[in-house]
Structure 1
């Protein structure tokens, strides 16, 4: 471990040739809410707006004679590799999933310029990874894993080196988002048992929990790609070797829609733009109140590469999760005054966001898709009570994923 800490310090020093330390900022809003000293390690303010530049920089500086680097990435690792390819005047071939947000693809092109070429392959990261490794085996070059690489893990550990230097001591807790596990492995290897590390992953990509349960990295049957920066179907083998003793209670899985509430709050309250993976650590605070009260806590905001074209979706998800927006199917009587009667049941804080007839040929009733926004979740209890009292038939489809895919 002494050797690792020496190498981590060397990696952190190498960062200074490219960019300054990312800020460690105490957040008054979160500190007051949770009764703790909450700090944000702002990896979203690195040159590529994520921590991934660290692993790329460290691994590539150790391959000084290499002129071609190949990688697979959901977006952030790609940007780090592209940035360093241009910085080091070497070539890069970057594979990204077809589902990668356009913002990340465009920024990768900007950072790499003529030094990189981009291939969009596969709907899921693991498909992209296989394509990149096959290409590298055929064409040559040095394959640079986004997380399953000792030099990449070492580079990510520079986050912890900076945190301790900036804080002047170690925190009580550090909260880390988990994708493939490279950053978590690096940070916890530096802190060891001096800090209580907590790990947060999206519920639709909980590969750390799966690996700890199975005793080895295992593929997930299905991955929800919304939290694209952490939507990995299998934890890396090297990260697992460093994380295999993590207690299961220290691993938190958050629903994707819930993460959206923090993205919206941080944007509106703090003016901080976080991508879904970047918001994981902050959102997890709500699950940790009893652990963190009175303590010093560092949340790693891992990335801010957010495509604002996704903002309506993020808002929609946040509202539905918070219970202030619902969709339902209403059987509306086909008689004069029925619509007016329905509208009269709305409360002063209720607003119709969607109104669409789905069936107009029924003789006595018509099916209507209704979307309603309100200011407080309890307003819906009162609204549905008024519908029941009037004998109106309705079906709440807000959380019916099958119907939502077709209708909402």
Structure 2
């Protein structure tokens, strides 16, 4: 029998979540608020005992099972956070739990589930791939399936997040942004908020490559995606729930889609305000709030974004850091063609001026011209257009690669190769203080008669920058080259005999 809004209000008000969950704080994000021109509060579900809101729904479902049902055990299918909620609840309620997880689940989530004493089964690549196997286990063993989202008790448990938001923020509120996988959190919060404060907009947020709710609401029926992206593994769901779709169809005002760069930028935004690191799915709502505010030209409004989880794999941080500046529009990638002649690099850097160079890749390839791959810190996108026009006016044609996925993901790491024409090449590594102008100082100190045949630099945010340089220096200039290195004053290492250079870059 379909649940009415009144039924869900009662279910949420009587939900049993606080045996194991905490009332998470609602915190203003001051830096982000200033940047987007609206007050944005973070609902900190990332600090729950399992670092995710999922413990609410899982426990509320399980605590209402009979002792006999608990003794037979429970099974769930989950990408990770619901799995931890079920495992935690099973440990608390002293019952057996089998957790079916996709083989792509982050190891940090797999380990966290196993530590709670649950049995982990890895199968498939998404939630949908795990579901059938979990149901089979239930039928074979007489166990209870704990659905991650499509169950009224689970939805009600997640709805307590909405209940807390209204208690913590009784003042006017314009919109609440909620991450969407199967729709349990979105449906639960929407059911509560729309019953008591119907003027508050409820906006779901999904990845562009896992947009099952967006398409379902647009088409008026549940769609089944052929495949989903797994960067935001916590919401990698091919089909939303039947009950969650029914509720969201009536209660949700909008669904916003954000890409990977936007999620990475949101992770950085939250870190800068809280010093906490969200997982990609946990940062979805923040990314959506930024996009929606800009798209709808909102200013002076008050938003809540649910920071839904923090089960981040440490090895993903490198990628997140690389993409965050792109997602925030604070780094641009430009390809510039310069004459292949001594002094051209110095001329190019002079035209860049005081801009902070984040990356510089070049390898000698032809006698007449050189193609340079450059990353630059920017404040607004118009700076890129202005720089390209300036370079063109000085005979240096350039193109903007900031939105080029091939360039961002691959080409930046592949600029190189053997250069048989680069005679008398000497390869050196340098360290220099990471400050604006250090790169230009290096080039201005060098003899204009020596040609740079290789250059690689990437700003990693450390105190010292590290560059790799190939310089063509005739043997008769040995003394002058030694004097140049001593005068420069930067620590350096000669790498011409390094086997890695000989194999992949040497002439």
Listed one character per residue, the Cα deviations across residues 235-269 of structure 1 (whole Å, up to 9, x for unaligned) are 1111011112246x622222331232222122123
**Structure 2 CA distance for aligned equivalents of residues 373 and 398 of structure 1:** 10
Match of 1:374 in 2: 377
Match of 2:17 in 1: 15
Match of 2:288 in 1: 284
Match of 1:59 in 2: 61
Contact 2:44 2:306 in 1 (8 A): yes
**Structure 1 CA distance for aligned equivalents of residues 268 and 333 of structure 2:** 21
Counterpart check, 1:355 vs 2:361: yes
Counterpart check, 1:300 vs 2:303: no
**Structure 2 CA distance for aligned equivalents of residues 288 and 259 of structure 1:** 15
Figure out how many residues of one structure are paired with residues of the other and give that number.
Answer: 399
Counterpart check, 1:223 vs 2:228: yes
Structure 1 residues 166 and 406, CA, compared in 2 at 3 Å: closer, same or farther? closer
SS of residue paired to 2:379: coil
Counterpart check, 1:106 vs 2:111: yes
Range moving further from structure 2, 153-162 or 234-243: 153-162
Structure 1 residues 380 and 297, CA, compared in 2 at 3 Å: closer, same or farther? closer
Of 233, 258, 274 in structure 2, the residue corresponding to residue 270 of structure 1 is 274
Of 316, 323, 326 in structure 1, the residue corresponding to residue 329 of structure 2 is 323
TM-score (norm 2): 0.70
**Structure 1 CA distance for aligned equivalents of residues 40 and 131 of structure 2:** 36
Structure 1 residues 291 and 390, CA, compared in 2 at 3 Å: closer, same or farther? closer
Match of 1:79 in 2: 84
Range moving further from structure 2, 91-100 or 132-141: 132-141
Of 200, 203, 212 in structure 2, the residue corresponding to residue 198 of structure 1 is 203
Tell me how far 1:77 sits from its aligned partner.
Answer: 0.9
Structure 1 residues 407 and 136, CA, compared in 2 at 3 Å: closer, same or farther? farther
Report matched runs for 1:334-349 at 5 Å: 334-349=340-355
Match of 2:176 in 1: 174
**Structure 2 CA distance for aligned equivalents of residues 395 and 137 of structure 1:** 60
Listed one character per residue, the Cα deviations across residues 93-140 of structure 1 (whole Å, up to 9, x for unaligned) are 222233333332333333x1xx21223333333323344444545555
SS of residue paired to 2:206: strand
Of 210, 213, 226 in structure 2, the residue corresponding to residue 208 of structure 1 is 213
Counterpart check, 1:238 vs 2:243: yes
Contact 2:329 2:378 in 1 (8 A): no
Of 258, 261, 276 in structure 1, the residue corresponding to residue 262 of structure 2 is 258
Contact 2:258 2:288 in 1 (8 A): yes
Counterpart check, 1:6 vs 2:13: no
Larger radius of gyration: 2
More helix by share: 1
Range moving further from structure 2, 100-109 or 293-302: 293-302
SS of residue paired to 1:238: helix
Contact 1:70 1:132 in 2 (8 A): yes
**Structure 2 CA distance for aligned equivalents of residues 167 and 297 of structure 1:** 11
Structure 1 residues 373 and 162, CA, compared in 2 at 3 Å: closer, same or farther? same
Tell me how far 1:52 sits from its aligned partner.
Answer: 0.2
Structure 2 runs not aligned, ≥5 long:
413-507
Contact 1:227 1:277 in 2 (8 A): yes
Tell me how far 1:81 sits from its aligned partner.
Answer: 1.2
Contact 1:164 1:170 in 2 (8 A): no
Structure 1 residues 222 and 396, CA, compared in 2 at 3 Å: closer, same or farther? farther
Bigger relative contact order (CA 8 A; separation at least 6): 1
TM-score (norm 1): 0.85
**Structure 2 CA distance for aligned equivalents of residues 258 and 185 of structure 1:** 24
SS of residue paired to 1:320: helix
Range moving further from structure 2, 133-142 or 340-349: 133-142
Contact 1:152 1:182 in 2 (8 A): yes
Contact 1:56 1:152 in 2 (8 A): yes
Structure 1 residues 376 and 21, CA, compared in 2 at 3 Å: closer, same or farther? closer
Tell me how far 1:57 sits from its aligned partner.
Answer: 0.2
Range moving further from structure 2, 372-381 or 44-53: 372-381
Listed one character per residue, the Cα deviations across residues 249-294 of structure 1 (whole Å, up to 9, x for unaligned) are 6222223312322221221233233222222333333324779766
Contact 1:354 1:371 in 2 (8 A): yes
Contact 1:173 1:292 in 2 (8 A): no
Match of 2:463 in 1: none
Structure 1 residues 171 and 403, CA, compared in 2 at 3 Å: closer, same or farther? closer
Contact 1:22 1:46 in 2 (8 A): yes
**Structure 1 CA distance for aligned equivalents of residues 92 and 41 of structure 2:** 31
SS of residue paired to 2:375: strand
SS of residue paired to 1:157: helix
